[in-house]
Amino acid sequence: MLRTLARQAAATVNHSVSSNLTAAPPAMPPTARSIKASKEEVRHGRLSERNLELAVRHLHQDGLVVVEDVIEHGVLDHLNHKMVEDAMLLSGRGENSPFNYNKSNLQQDAPPIRRYFEPSIFLNKIASHITTTALGPKPKLTFCSGNTAMPPSDEIKPQRQPVHSDADFAHPSHPFALVVNVPLINMTPQNGSTEVWLGTHNGSGLHCQEGAHGERASGRIKLHLLETRRMVSPPIQPIIPKGSIIVRDLRLWHGGMPNNSNDVRVMLAFIHFAPWYRNQMRLEFGEEVRPVIEEEATLDVRADYVSEQHAERTYLDRGSGNSYDFSQTP
Ligand SMILES: O=C(O)CCC(=O)C(=O)O
Ligand SMILES: [Fe+2]
């Protein structure tokens, strides 16, 4: 009986995926939709009603939207300088580096101390305007990290990740989490712009995946589904100008790509979970970050504080993507 119910449930979900998969092929290759924020919008930390409508529409339809001209370049450069140094250090740990799927893609946290905690990056208001509109007021911020695509070196041969969903656990079939990505430099196919499979958030779930959470290669999308989906809407590697934010549905199929440039490509990743979603992770920051976070009214930031020295000493030992738990309590 239970088995039958489970099969029926799977069939229901599969139906929406397959209708998604068998739609007529588009005349044009898909493109990531982007919006340009005006100076006014950035100053007020809010998009106009028209741009906000576009942002939520693209998120709904494609599972991804880019907003350009949101973050000032100087603050990105300051953080990038430090994170590139850190990336070299982490990468030097080889087998013990916090890599996701392969050693050319590292899980990398930003230094969680006041000197690098720039609110326009970590608590970006345009990003929150979009996520609060899509998910409801006060999304929980419980994940604050980054993905670094390493360039070729004697030790590192850049490799692509398998196409996967970061939602590698049983999850709701309606939007529950949005990833805010902030690349610290221009992101292009040459330096490993993330491959994205637009529209795959709808109807996706565990039934599309192989590799359970906790395995090194978890959340991989089944190959036959990729082949079918490719006929409808092939994957793309968008060009994302520095200063942009990307908002992506956590369920979207995607994969880190080889970085064949000479530059380390750091892309920060923050997850805004819907206010009703009972994710239990917590962030850790140095004590001097506390006043900045306590002023934050739009997001529900779940954080603990330690001395700045302790934060600085320990943040590079936090582990790879699999040490995080994006699921919710019952
Ligand atoms: O680095 C990227 O472009 C994406 C990395 C990623 O998706 C992951 O590690 O889960
Ligand atoms: Fe991922």
Ligand nearest to the CA of 268: 1
Residue the block writes with tokens 């959340």? 219
The pLDDT of residue 5: 32
The pLDDT of residue 175: 98
Burial category of 278 from C-beta neighbours within 10 Å (exposed 0-12, middle 13-18, buried 19 and up): exposed
Q: How many domains does the chain have?
A: 1
Closest protein CA for atom 6 of ligand 1: 256
Single out the residue of 321, 287, 276 nearest to residue 164, CA to CA.
321
Check pocket membership of 104 for ligand 1, CB cut-off 6 A: no
Specify if 89 maps to a domain. Answer: yes
Yes or no: say if 256 and 160 are a contact pair by the CB < 8 Å rule.
yes
Check pocket membership of 146 for ligand 1, CB cut-off 6 A: no
Check pocket membership of 166 for ligand 1, CB cut-off 6 A: yes
Check pocket membership of 250 for ligand 1, CB cut-off 6 A: no
Check pocket membership of 218 for ligand 1, CB cut-off 6 A: no
Helix (H, G, I), strand (E, B) or coil at 144: strand
Check pocket membership of 258 for ligand 1, CB cut-off 6 A: no
Q: Which string of DSSP letters, residue by residue, matches 200-224? A: TTTT-SGGGEES-BTBTTTTEEPHH
Check pocket membership of 256 for ligand 1, CB cut-off 6 A: yes
Specify if 276 maps to a domain. Answer: yes
Atom index in ligand 1 nearest the CA of residue 107 equals: 9
First CA to last CA across the chain, in angstroms?
23
Q: Which string of DSSP letters, residue by residue, matches 219-270? A: TEEPHHHHHHHHHHS--B---B-TT-EEEEETT--EE-----SSS-EEEEEE
Burial category of 211 from C-beta neighbours within 10 Å (exposed 0-12, middle 13-18, buried 19 and up): middle
Instruction: Decide the pairing of beta strands 195-196 and 99-100.
Output: unpaired
Check pocket membership of 87 for ligand 1, CB cut-off 6 A: no
Distance 147 CA to ligand 1 centre (A): 6
Structure tokens at 104: 């050319």
Yes or no: say if 286 and 132 are a contact pair by the CB < 8 Å rule.
no
Residue 243: domain span: 2-323
The pLDDT of residue 16: 43
Instruction: Decide the pairing of beta strands 177-183 and 140-149.
Output: unpaired
Q: Which string of DSSP letters, residue by residue, matches 56-111? A: HHHHHHHSEEEEES-S-HHHHHHHHHHHHHHHHHHHTTGGGS-EESEEEEEE-PPP
Check pocket membership of 102 for ligand 1, CB cut-off 6 A: no
Specify if 175 maps to a domain. Answer: yes
Looking at residue 308, its amino acid is E
Atom index in ligand 1 nearest the CA of residue 100 equals: 9
Helices 125-135, 49-62: crossing angle, 10 deg rounding: 60
Specify if 243 maps to a domain. Answer: yes
Looking at residue 303, its amino acid is A
Residues of the chain below pLDDT 70: 1-27
Specify if 330 maps to a domain. Answer: no
Question: CA geometry: angle at 137 spanning 135 and 143, to 5°?
Answer: 65
Dihedral Cα 71, 72, 73, 77, nearest 10 deg: -80
pLDDT tens digits for 232-246? 999 999 999 999 999
Single out the residue of 58, 41, 45, 106 nearest to residue 238, CA to CA.
58
Which CATH number does the domain housing residue 55 bear? Answer: 2.60.120.620
Name 110's Cβ contacts closer than 8 Å, sequence gap at least 6: 79, 82, 83, 116, 122, 144, 145, 146, 268
Ligand nearest to the CA of 193: 1
The pLDDT of residue 20: 52
Specify if 104 maps to a domain. Answer: yes
Count of CB atoms within 10 A of residue 82's CB? 14
Specify if 263 maps to a domain. Answer: yes
CA distance 269 to 296: 18
Q: Which of 163, 194, 200, 261 to mutate to test the pocket of ligand 1 (most atoms within 8 A of CB)?
A: 194
Specify if 80 maps to a domain. Answer: yes
Could you tell me which residues are beta bridge partners of residue 272?
A: 141, 178
